Amino acid sequence: MIPAGLRRSRGLVGIHRLAEGEPESLGPPIFQLYVLEVDDPDDQVPYDFYVGVTKESPEKRRTAHAKGGLFAAGIFKREGVSPGRLRPDLTDGLPNFRCKACGENAEGRLARVVATQLGPAHSEQVANRTKGKVEKCEGLTG
């Protein structure tokens, strides 16, 4: 299913295929994607959106980003911007993931889709892919 706020794309299809390829032996899918608007009144960062993945609810994750500290993303700790509203219209219908590595892979894919369709999006996983640090699914061998 394609989220209401996005158009069908290869990236979104890839997110669904990624979830379908996860072994059931990893347990139930607990990692979910979320998108936040970036509240940046002084234009300090070149991003309109932040994309993440979490085992908690997106609302709890947004609160953690807003509080700062150990569990906030670097963009919210160091860049002087705040997490804006959650955008469930950009994630509703996307699958949850069984392993963290697959969820992070999907996070990077979703960030690229959001950036292409709506405006600049930040994700730690886009940076990791550029650095060649993308983790493989914990349930796949070989």
Is residue 50 helix, strand or coil? strand
Terminal-residue alpha carbon distance, the chain: 30
Quote the mean pLDDT of the chain. 89
Enter the pTM of the model. 0.90
- Say which residue the tokens 């493989």 belong to: 136
Cβ count near 79 (within 10 Å): 15
54-105: pLDDT as tens digits: 999 999 999 999 998 888 998 998 888 999 999 999 999 999 999 999 999 9
Q: Edge to edge, what strands does the sheet with 49-54 contain?
A: 82-86, 32-39, 49-54, 121-122
